[in-house]
């Protein structure tokens, strides 16, 4: 018959285990896992640092390539090779501006349209949208131009100068299409946006005019403003 285990002595003193001993035991049990975790953390930190470094170097190279563009052909080549980058949109915008100022309105319309997808939200994107609308008007695409201009005019998130010019260009379209009746309404909208706009005086001058050709009013000085 086996001897039963002796009951523990309730009066026996408890053995005190120090914090250092507990830490040593825990380290002996889990030390390898801790090393592995630390290695993973270090690798992740180093990897992120390397990615950030290479990204910064790549962005610097793109900026330097853009700065080296001094002619329209160079700007077009830069835009073609950096699609999706905001500077590609800026390059296209510059090319479109040059085309517009030279009276090549169809080419300008294409350029502004190509710039829009690459530009970040802000003044440059608004300029490209306005430039596209005005170029379409100059190219004889009055219905497309009118739709785009009305959208810009009604968008309160657009810069005030862009909305004011949109109102003026709409008034020009109305007059050139033989519909001067809406000029008063457009003038009132422009005044509500910014009565100090340089287009305020210009739109007032349209009211008494008989129908005229759009080309005589949509000159390079009229669009695209907001530069």
Q: How far apart are the first and last CA of the chain?
A: 104
What's the angle, vertex CA 166, arms to CA 214 and CA 127, rounded to 5? 105
Domain that holds residue 163: 69-216
pLDDT number for residue 161? 94
pLDDT number for residue 69? 75
Would residue 51 count as lying in a domain?
no
Would residue 118 count as lying in a domain?
yes
Cα–Cα distance for residue pair 214/203, rounded to 1 Å: 14
Would residue 42 count as lying in a domain?
no
Would residue 28 count as lying in a domain?
no
Would residue 172 count as lying in a domain?
yes
Burial of 68 (0-12, 13-18, 19+ CB in 10 A): exposed
% pLDDT > 90, the chain: 31
Work out the average pLDDT over 218-224: 43
Q: What is the pLDDT of residues 134-164, one digit of tens each?
A: 999 998 898 999 999 999 999 999 999 999 9
Under a CB-based contact definition with an 8 Å cutoff, are residues 195 and 164 in contact?
no
Number of structural domains found in the chain: 1
| 46 token code pair | 């180093």
Domain CATH number, residue 101: 1.25.40.10
pLDDT number for residue 22? 60
Would residue 31 count as lying in a domain?
no
Q: For residue 26, is the peptide bond before it cis, meaning its omega torsion is within 30 degrees of 0?
A: no
Under a CB-based contact definition with an 8 Å cutoff, are residues 112 and 131 in contact?
yes
Burial 102-139 (b: 16+ CB within 10 A, else e): eebbebbbbbbbbbbebbeeeebbbbbbbbbbbbbbbb
Would residue 189 count as lying in a domain?
yes
Under a CB-based contact definition with an 8 Å cutoff, are residues 146 and 154 in contact?
no
Cα–Cα distance for residue pair 152/115, rounded to 1 Å: 17
CA 147, 150, 155, 160 torsion: positive or negative? positive
Please give the torsion angle defined by the CA atoms of residues 73, 108, 160 and 222, in that order, rounded to the nearest 10 degrees.
Answer: 110
Work out the average pLDDT over 176-198: 89
Biggest CA pair distance of the chain: 126
Q: DSSP per residue over 180-223, as a string?
A: GGGHHHHHHHHHHH-TTSHHHHHHHTTTTPPP--GGGTS-TTTS
Would residue 54 count as lying in a domain?
no
């Amino acid at each position: 018959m086996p001897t039963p285990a002796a009951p523990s002595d309730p009066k026996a003193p408890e053995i005190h285990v120090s914090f250092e001993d507990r830490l040593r035991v825990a380290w002996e049990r889990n030390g390898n896992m801790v090393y592995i975790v630390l290695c993973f953390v270090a690798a992740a930190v180093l990897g992120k640092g390397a990615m950030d470094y290479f990204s910064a170097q790549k962005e610097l190279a793109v900026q330097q390539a853009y700065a080296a563009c001094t002619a329209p052909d160079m700007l077009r080549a830069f835009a073609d090779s950096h699609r999706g980058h905001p500077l590609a949109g800026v390059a296209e915008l510059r090319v479109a501006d040059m085309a517009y100022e030279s009276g090549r309105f169809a080419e300008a319309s294409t350029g502004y349209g190509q710039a829009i997808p690459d530009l970040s939200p802000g003044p440059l994107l608004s300029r490209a949208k306005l430039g596209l609308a005005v170029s379409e008007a100059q190219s004889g695409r009055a219905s497309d131009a009118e739709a785009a201009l009305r959208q810009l005019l009604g968008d309160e998130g657009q810069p005030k100068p862009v909305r004011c010019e949109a109102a003026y260009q709409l008034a020009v379209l109305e007059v050139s299409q033989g519909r001067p009746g809406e000029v008063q309404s457009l003038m009132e909208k422009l005044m509500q946006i910014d009565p100090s706009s340089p287009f305020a005086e210009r739109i007032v001058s349209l009211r008494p005019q008989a129908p005229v050709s759009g080309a005589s009013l949509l000159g390079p000085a009229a669009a695209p403003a907001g530069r």
